[in-house]
Structure 1
């Protein structure tokens, strides 16, 4: 069955370095870049409580019936299946990192989607830094957002860690990043950080990247939403077209045996057919970053990166 296919790993680990000469001076926001939605949700901790930012009803249900609530949240909140290095090998160049402070976790920060992850932020980013050392011509965009229950002190420590870890590999928001300009400076990392105080203090950080998100479990409605947004014209700079589907309480109740992966796998042929017809560039109707769930179960990354040379 399609849902049981083995992950398609590897093959696109150095696709940026193989792009033709005429694309080397194009701003990265005018290229097509594959991204993973809720990048770190592959390692959700089924024993953790639901996030404090979730609805009162969900938190109350979790308090009273955790043995029922958490497995359900896990099934629907898991949207990826591998670590950052594996996703990078697939060709992913945009990472959607939703960061949170887990209760009773000390100074450690984790990722979250409904519930918290097992892997810490530092562990994940160190893994990516190691991958970048082995692929010096590949450039990644890291979107840090949500920051559930984080304090100002947490932000200061996280940004300090990021600046030290990536150091000279960081591309400043004051520059227009192209492949050639980044290669000449040894820059490989663009950090988007959704916190105004940190942006004002650190010019290395980029503002939050707009994410077009249909909020629907229906792939036809997702495509219709994206087409409507395209008619309005693309934002300046980086932006994301989200192929990811979204369930709500009624959908979950009506589909008790389904999971996010089953729902996504069924919708992928239609979503990828739409993607194949897109083109990158500065024109109003062009795409830039395209994000998807379960990036390893289809040719999603190859399709998106291939749009650059069509």
Structure 2
């Protein structure tokens, strides 16, 4: 099933149009907006970084910052390029810069981005206007420094930018149903404000193994699969974790070096996975530097299993 990556959803076999999206294989981008981190930012590194790294950054910023950037960039392709290459799930981590008197929101991973959230959302909207049968899932999470007022403002921005393209919460979202109703965007929002907006879906579970080595990550996921998959959408994150010990023992490397060296092993495992609603199946698979390997076509090709096994789930 060789599909054009830019429009792979619209080119899926008709037999899959009524398949719940939560039962299909969907390629995702972990820390999607890290291609534009602010190298002039002098704010403290965020709380997701190791404690020791935060302390060293406070007193040895000129020395530590280059390490932070090397290990914080998880994607090098911009959002349009990621979508063109087939990404349909984006992990978006939102922050308000400390001491910023404006209401501008940014993305972050260790440090903040130079680009605002609103700018990226508008870029996604423009891309969707050109690709009317493609559907994206945007996961807003890991909020840093957002007050209730800023959450309200962000939700308002999301509604304003995407308008009728937003898919309201429903039990069974399929391509055919979304096409019929003109929806292209599913918003996952990790905050209780989602309970008060029909356009915001609850947080999509993200399986994170917290491992530095591909073999350990695979072993962790195989154990989890034995206990069944979550209901509805869920993400299997094949993103490896760089801890301070690993960074210090590989001073000349970067996150990209680590990821690219392990992709052959990780993709061999991905090829064995099966989408669907049964125990042990997968749904969204997210990774780092997703446009730099065969990750995206490998994930999309998994949908052939739904046709071959004649087990297309229907609501």
TM-score (norm 1): 0.94
Deviations along 1:254-297, whole A, 9 cap, x unmatched? 11111100000000000001001111111111110000100111
Correspondences of 1:99-110 after superposition (within 5 Å): 99-105=94-100, 106-110=102-106
What corresponds to 2:295 in structure 1? 300
Structure 1 gaps of 5+ residues are 1-9
Alignment partner of 1:50 is 2:67: no
* Structure 1 residues 53-202: aligned runs within 5 Å: 53-54=47-48, 57-105=52-100, 106-196=102-192, 198-202=193-197
* Matches of 2:71 and 2:44, distance apart in 1: 13
Aligned-pair CA distance for 1:33: 0.1
Q: Is the 8 A contact 2:29 2:90 kept in 1?
A: yes
Describe the SS at the equivalent of 1:97. strand
**Counterpart Cα distance in 1 of 2:116 and 2:219:** 37
Alignment RMSD:
1.4
The superposition leaves residues 110-134 of structure 1 with CA deviations (integer Å, 9 ceiling, x where unpaired) of 0010111111101111110000000
- Give the distance between the partners of 1:12 and 1:60, measured in 2 at CA: 43
Task: Quote the Cα distance in structure 2 between the aligned partners of 1:211 and 1:95.
Answer: 12
| Cα displacement string for residues 19-68 of structure 1 (whole angstroms, at most 9, x for unaligned residues) | 11111111100000000110011111122223452555433322222111
Alignment match, 2:8: 15
Moved more, 113-122 or 50-59: 50-59
The within-5 A match list for 1:202-241 is 202-241=197-236
Change (3 A) 1:35 1:98: same
Distance in 1 between residues matched to 2:242 and 2:46, nearest whole Å: 20
8 A Cα contact 1:42 1:80, kept in partner: yes
Structure 1 residue 87: deviation in Å? Answer: 0.4
Unaligned runs of 5+ in 2: 306-315
1:39 counterpart SS class: coil
Q: Secondary structure, in 3 states, of the residue corresponding to 1:281? A: coil
Secondary structure at the aligned position of 2:65 is classed as helix
**Partner of 1:290 in structure 2?**
285
Equivalent-residue separation in structure 2 for 1:187 and 1:204 (angstroms):
11
Partner residue, 1:5: none
Q: Deviation of residue 103 (structure 1)?
A: 2.1
Q: Is the 8 A contact 1:19 1:309 kept in 2?
A: no
Greater Cα offset, 244-253 or 171-180: 171-180
Partner deviation per Cα, 1:7-27 (whole Å, 9 max, x = no partner)? xxx940100001111111111
